[in-house]
Structure 1
Amino acid sequence: MMLLVDSGNTRIKWRLVQGAQVKAEGAAMLDEKAPFAGLAHFAHDITRVAVSSVASEQNCRELEQALSRVTRAPVTFYWSESSRQGLVNSYQDVRKMGADRWHGMVGAWSRYPGGFAVVDAGSAVTVDYVAESGAHIGGYILPGLRMMRRSLKLDAARIGFEHDDQINTLPGRSTGECANHGLAWLTLGVIERINADARVHNIRRVLLTGGDAQRFVDLGLQAEVRPGLVFEGLQAVAQGGKGE
């Protein structure tokens, strides 16, 4: 079995696969005492570990240490590439693209070659466009919902409000409404921009992943929700040999 790991600086997600079959999956904070405790039953069945990481070097070392307490299988980190099977990265220095963005695009490309957008609504929101030819047109990196909410609470201390998960974009009539509706309003603006760009770039399909994916759907983004898109791309890379 192969263990797939999607690692940020604080949170990790993992998926255990055997071919196309998902055997188990989970998530944890990297600083937990046993972030891979859910793998104990499968520890002896893991033959290799593939990691997509945007974490710091120190956190990558901590991740390897945590993995070594669960399995002796070899661990390989997979980074962004210049190209893979017709998908071409637009970055001149591909090392500067987050591996999760690249693996999300690879996952989409392996399923729907050409003419798509990948939206990852996580701690940060990333949007990437890929032309029908496989050329990465480019993308955007934006603060995610939690990041914006935290910024309002910490950097503008006089704005005290409790977050409300109800989605409303009407003008607010209290500080709480103004803040919560404003966050939804900004997300709606991103969705409208994606829809406009889709017409310009002949984007026929939007694939959506990340913890806040449902919020984008509720605000009207017409997308296919693929919670494991980064895992799909990471598995394709790990099994498909060397890219460029």
Structure 2
Amino acid sequence: MILLIDAGNSRLKLGLLPAGAPHRRSDTQAFDHADPRALADWLRALPETPARAVGVNVAGGDRGDAVARIVEQACGCGIEWLRAEPQTLALRNGYDHPEQLGADRWAAMLGVLARQHAGHPPFMVASFGTATTLDTVSSENVFLGGLILPGPAMMRAALAHGTANLPLAQGVATAYPTDTNQAISSGVAAAQAGALVRQWLAARTRFGATPDIYVTGGGWPEIRTEAETLLAQAGAARSVPTRPVYVESPVLDGLAAWVLQTAQRPE
């Protein structure tokens, strides 16, 4: 059994690749970084101890080291950390300095790429987490680049903490807000959805084809209605209806693809 680890800014997410069914990843488990005991208890309660652990870490060195210590104590193995590189499997990295790309973004693109068939259309991976990232991959499996902006919760928190009179808003997005909570929630949803549509339009212009969109992250439900509405309007104006596909844990899917495909390489 192989342990898959996504150490994100907000949470730690894990999955398992069972030895008897290596192409069927387990359901995702999530833990708070502030509760290391929960992770240790979960690992020790597994019916089979993982023999190997692979992961990505964007939570910082200290948190990564803490997770590694727990895994070492519970499983007796270290963690192989995947990092962005010029090419991994079939995915090529278009960053000027490939090592600067976040490992979670790289793994998520690998996870979505593993779902594709030969001759697939270009696609976007939109992750709405602590930060929002919008990445585009061509039909030739080249990562062209992407956007980073504050995630929905961070946007709301910035307004609450950086101003004297604005609340930490919880409201429903609407076209014409009539109270402050609605105004903030609508502004956040519009900013997130607008960035997504901007990249969708950029990809349409670049490729002359409609990119598929895969979305993930805890912030997606907050901006989903706004994003789907704007995408539908943009698509209808070009007679190319489009609808995002939700993927629960593309980072773990990418780690699984990396493990499985590298294991199949000839010596």
Give per-residue Cα distances to partners, 1:164-203, cap 9 Å, x unaligned: 2x3x232322222221221122223123313312321334
**CA separation in 2, counterparts of 1:217 and 1:160?**
22
Give per-residue Cα distances to partners, 1:59-83, cap 9 Å, x unaligned: 2111111222321133211111211
**CA separation in 2, counterparts of 1:73 and 1:79?**
19
1:40-59 equivalences under 5 Å are: 40-42=44-46, 44-59=48-63
Cα offset for 1:216? 4.2
TM-score, length-normalised on structure 1? 0.90
**CA separation in 2, counterparts of 1:99 and 1:211?**
18
C-alpha change, 1:170 and 1:23, in structure 2 (3 Å) is: closer
Tell me if 1:198 matches 2:198. Answer: no
Cα offset for 1:101? 0.4
Count of residues in correspondence between the two structures: 241
Which one is further off, 221-230 or 67-76? 67-76
**CA separation in 1, counterparts of 2:202 and 2:222?**
20
Unaligned stretches of 5+ residues in structure 2:
232-242
Q: Which residue of 2 aligns with 1:99?
A: 103
Q: Which residue of 1 aligns with 2:113?
A: 109
**CA separation in 2, counterparts of 1:183 and 1:213?**
12
**CA separation in 2, counterparts of 1:138 and 1:57?**
25
Instruction: Please give the root-mean-square deviation of Cα atoms over the aligned residues, in Å.
Output: 2.1
Amino acid of the structure 2 residue aligned with 1:146: A
Tell me if 1:72 matches 2:76. Answer: yes
Amino acid of the structure 1 residue aligned with 2:35: E
Q: Which residue of 1 aligns with 2:245?
A: 224
Give per-residue Cα distances to partners, 1:143-176, cap 9 Å, x unaligned: 1001001101111132135412x3x232322222
SS of residue paired to 2:262: coil
**CA separation in 2, counterparts of 1:230 and 1:203?**
24
**CA separation in 2, counterparts of 1:43 and 1:157?**
52
Cα offset for 1:136? 1.3
C-alpha change, 1:193 and 1:2, in structure 2 (3 Å) is: same
Selected match of 1:177 from 158, 177, 182:
182
**CA separation in 2, counterparts of 1:5 and 1:104?**
12
Which one is further off, 15-24 or 90-99? 15-24
Amino acid of the structure 2 residue aligned with 1:224: V
After TM superposition, the runs of 4+ consecutive aligned structure 1 residues lying more than 6 A away are none
Amino acid of the structure 2 residue aligned with 1:127: L
Amino acid of the structure 2 residue aligned with 1:212: G
SS of residue paired to 1:69: helix
Give per-residue Cα distances to partners, 1:87-135, cap 9 Å, x unaligned: 2101132221110100111111222155111111111110111111112
Between the two proteins, what is the percent identity of the paired residues? 25
C-alpha change, 1:58 and 1:225, in structure 2 (3 Å) is: same
Q: Which residue of 1 aligns with 2:234?
A: none
**CA separation in 2, counterparts of 1:12 and 1:229?**
14
Report if the CA contact (8 A) 2:54-2:82 is conserved. Answer: yes
Report if the CA contact (8 A) 1:17-1:24 is conserved. Answer: no
Report if the CA contact (8 A) 2:10-2:130 is conserved. Answer: no
Cα offset for 1:43? 6.2
C-alpha change, 1:217 and 1:163, in structure 2 (3 Å) is: closer
TM-score, length-normalised on structure 2? 0.82
Q: Which residue of 2 aligns with 1:15?
A: 15
Selected match of 1:207 from 206, 210, 214:
214
